[in-house]
Structure formats: C-alpha cells, structure tokens
Amino acid sequence: MIKKVEQGVLNKQVSIVTGASRGIGEAIARHFFKEGARLVLLDLVEEGLYRVANSLDPSGDSILCFQTDITVEEEVHKAVSRTVERLGRIDILINCAGILKHLPIEQMSLEDFESVLRVNLTGTFIVCKAVIPFMKKQGRGKIVNISSLGGRTGRPGVGVNYAASKAGIIGLTQTLAREVGPDGVYVNAIAPGPILTQLTRQVPSEVFAKWNVGRAVNKDGLPEDVARAALFLASDQSDWITGVTLDVNGGIFIT
C-alpha cells in the first residue's frame, strides 16, 4: 500500500537559507515553507527577512530570522549556534546570498574583484564550514550552493569577478562533496541562467537579452524555477546525488 504524504517533502527539516530577503532566496524560502520546512533566514537586510517571514507566518513563531553578513565569521557562527540552541539541528543549508558588480576588466578595481569573491565564494565557504560539524554529528545533511551559468561558461557582461566566484563555488562543491560524503552530508550546486530579480535589474536590458541567446525553451527564468530545483537537491528525493552542478537555464547551456 502507498502511504499518503501529509507533511510536505521537507517535513519539519531545519533549513537555513542565506540571501533570503528577496529574489531567488526568498522564492526558496517560500517554496520550502510550503513543503513543511522549519525556516532559518539569513540576510544583510533585516526588514526584508521580517517581510518574508511575516508574510509566511504572521504569528512570527515558526521562522527564525538573523540579520547576518555571511562574510563575517562571528556573525555566521552566532546565527548557526542560535539555530541549534533553538531547533536542535540543521538539516539543510542553501547558500544563496550573492552580489554582482559587472564591469569590464579595465574598469574593475582590485576592491571590485575581491569584494565579489568575498561575498559569493568566501561567504559560501564560511557558512558551509559553520554548519558542517552539526551535519556530521547528525550523520546527515544537505547543502545546496547557488553558482551561476556565468561560472559554467564565459558570459558577456557578468564581470570576471562574478564568473570567477561562481566557478569557485563549483570547485568548492565538488571537493566538499568528497570530503563530507562519508559522513552522510550531500553537497550540490545549482547554476541558474538569467533570472529576473533585483540583481539582474541593474544590468542593461540589451546585456540581459544577450544572456538569453540560444535558450531552448520559450520561457523566461523565474526565481521559482530555481526554488523547485533547490527543493529537489535539498530533499531525500535526490539521495545518491552529490557533487553535481544542476543547470537551470531553459537550455541556454546544454552539455
């Protein structure tokens, strides 16, 4: 007999989502909540976190929000240890916080280069490092790192800083998957193509259009498209998949 599922795919699983105050991170938070996750939302922007949390649970009881800069180890450690104090475990981590500073190389200062690496790559490292001891102790965990099509193929106009940071996330994901796989921790990445969010609204429309050239399907990328892929990689539906980068791009890049 097949048992009916009532609790959602993520039934009470404690899920940390970074960059959750808007865009793709917000969509992931909403989708995971619908699927029964216990949400822990991290972002630099506190009002955004509470806007998302209150719209999902007006009582404010079931969702933890921590204003956190993912590049600051102490802040990340505080958020992670408070999560464990309050909820007892961490089942899922979605590393979604990221920034884009698209400039041609001649106009890109060292600060422009390093600041993007610092948030996108070092920030991902810092949050992974903070949660892994808990996941190892549990003997299980799922990490999903948000890379980008820009880290998979050269893209005009994303900036070498962004492309390098997102390619770095793929390398980090592959090696971390090998390191912590024996402890039951799965680590995967998603490489979204162009998705309409505040991050891409700063890009001139002709550049955004160029990013979509060659797309196989006649549909724009939406934050929810990435959220559904994140749900798959975060849930037990993807067990035995680790170290992969899942392309979510309407067929712009097909390997």
Helix (H) or strand (E) run with residue 161 in it: helix 160-180
CB within 8 Å of 4: residues ≥ 6 apart: none
User: DSSP code of 2?
Assistant: P
Give the residue, chosen from 15, 21, 173, 188, that forms a contact with ligand NAD under the rule CB under 6 A.
21
Task: Name which of residues 115 to 134 contact ligand NAD (CB under 6 A).
Answer: 119, 123
CA angle 255, 157, 96 (to 5 degrees): 70
Which of the ranges 21-29, 58-66, 171-179, 237-245 carries the binding residues for ligand NAD, by CB under 6 A? 21-29
224 part of the interface to ligand NAD, by CB under 6 A:
no
- Give the active site residue among 162, 231, 242, 250: 162
Can you spell out the DSSP letters for 103-137? --GGG--HHHHHHHHIIIIIHHHHHHHHHHHHHHH
* Distance of alpha carbon 94 from alpha carbon 17, whole angstroms: 5
16 part of the interface to ligand NAD, by CB under 6 A:
no
- 162: annotated active-site residue: yes
- Beta-strand ranges (E) seen in the chain are 14-18, 38-43, 64-67, 92-95, 141-146, 185-192, 245-248
Give the residue, chosen from 15, 16, 17, 19, that forms a contact with ligand NAD under the rule CB under 6 A.
19
40 part of the interface to ligand NAD, by CB under 6 A:
no
23 part of the interface to ligand NAD, by CB under 6 A:
yes
* Distance of alpha carbon 14 from alpha carbon 39, whole angstroms: 6
176 part of the interface to ligand NAD, by CB under 6 A:
no
User: DSSP code of 188?
Assistant: E
Which of the ranges 28-36, 92-100, 130-138, 235-243 carries the binding residues for ligand NAD, by CB under 6 A? 92-100
State the minimum distance, in angstroms, from the CB of residue 61 to ligand NAD.
23
Give the residue, chosen from 59, 107, 198, 205, that forms a contact with ligand NAD under the rule CB under 6 A.
198
State the minimum distance, in angstroms, from the CB of residue 44 to ligand NAD.
4
**Which residues belong to the active site?**
162
Positions that interact with ligand NAD (CB under 6 A): 18-19, 21-25, 43-45, 48, 68-71, 96-99, 119, 123, 146, 148, 192, 194-195, 197-200
